[in-house]
Amino acid sequence: MTELWQLSAAGLADQVRRGSVSARDVVRASLDRIERVDPALHAFVDHRGERALADADAIDGARARGEPLGPLAGVPIGWKDNLVVAGERTSAGSRMLADYRSPFTATALQRLQAAGAVLLGRTNMDEFGMGSSTETSAHGPTRNPWHRDCVPGGSSGGSAAAVAAGLCPLAVGSDTGGSVRQPAALCGVFGLKPTYGRVSRYGLIAYASSLDCVGVLGRSVDDLALWLAATAGVDPADPTSVAAAPTTGAAAPAADLRGVRIGVPWQLNGPGLDDEVLATVQTALATLRELGAELVECSLPSVAHAVPTYYLLAMAEAASNLARYDGVRYGARRGEGTSCDAMTTASRSRGFGDEVQLRILLGTFALSVGYQDRYYGQAIRARELLRSDFARAFAACDLLVSPTSPVPAFPLGSRIDDPLAMYLCDALTVPASLAGLPALSQPCGYTAAGLPIGLQWTAPAFGEDRLLQVAGAFAAATDHHSRRPPA
């Protein structure tokens, strides 16, 4: 018999609406699973416990009264520790915000609650989203459910590990340069970064405002589609949010891929890839051909500059966004009784971790007088060239495909002291982020050691429905997503 924690979000919501299982039982199953499994993984920072059960009871009460239930009725959802919930702690994985409590709830989480979801608890993350391994968190690292000596990816590693280990069927993350897709690949789950602006960022603690997106990790394409339908849409509180045609709320995968033109950019499908990643993705491309897709060789010349462009822009915006944490306006205050300068220095040096301090310093330098146009201005121009490359590619293709990560999950601690090696983990995900395009990662195979490998799809702006359809067709033809880790 399938246990509740093994079911998808879509399956759980259907059972709750039909009354074959109570929302309380669903939430209780997740809490029990967290208690048994999470001490070894540390995917969650904390959970809401009795408050989540009370929310579930309210859903059961509404069903008993004959009231209609939402599309995510009773589904327990984890959320990354950089999305705020009114009256509850939100730390963004940092000592700087260890005691912060927000007066309001993020729009994306409000919309999930309106759709019937139950907020379960905060998931671990790299500090302020700055990392690719979930090792820079002030709460300590998260471990990969497939191999506990390996990283889960980052910065949404807690959300990815939670979904992979069956702690919750859906978890919200954020994706600035790949922080949903890369951990999805390393943990063997699905991950979606929507078009920039399609899901409100209101209530997301900012890292790099022109890149940050709220995204999701789940066990199926249908689950991603339900989440997107519930959260997408313009938000008056977020001036960067956009009105777009509503999604259907169902993936509706194509029976086959005949007539679909899939671009294979050589820059993302060969140079610098791990041998097992390359071989597995080549097998996936063969499956796409068998499904009837037309594979088209294409080029994204500016991808060669994507990683330095991304880090220049992200670090510059981070330096600006994080300037508010000075121990006066925001952030834990240190160095009481000293001068203002000494207090600010003490607050920031003790509140921020090493990686965050490094990125602030580099971003500040990139914006300094005499260097702004040389570095930041050049990065802006390189970003526009990349957008033009994507536009040319999509003139000949419907979607683009590549690996999600150049490497499978790597051992904890193996890259934490090598920033360049860590930054190159984002080489395949940052191009879509720089262009503001929707992208999706799904499992496509495993290494000889049993570590997951992810396949990444990129679509034109607001092409999420096509992403979900094609990913659904690939999932229906394979069983990679059905495997579960030993944790």
Residue from 8, 156, 179, 220 carrying the catalytic annotation: 179
Residue from 22, 155, 241, 433 carrying the catalytic annotation: 155
210 is catalytic: no
> Considering only CA atoms, which of 97, 98, 115 is closest in space to residue 107?
115
Residue from 30, 80, 94, 132 carrying the catalytic annotation: 80
80 is catalytic: yes
388 is catalytic: no
- Active-site residues, by number, are 80, 155, 179
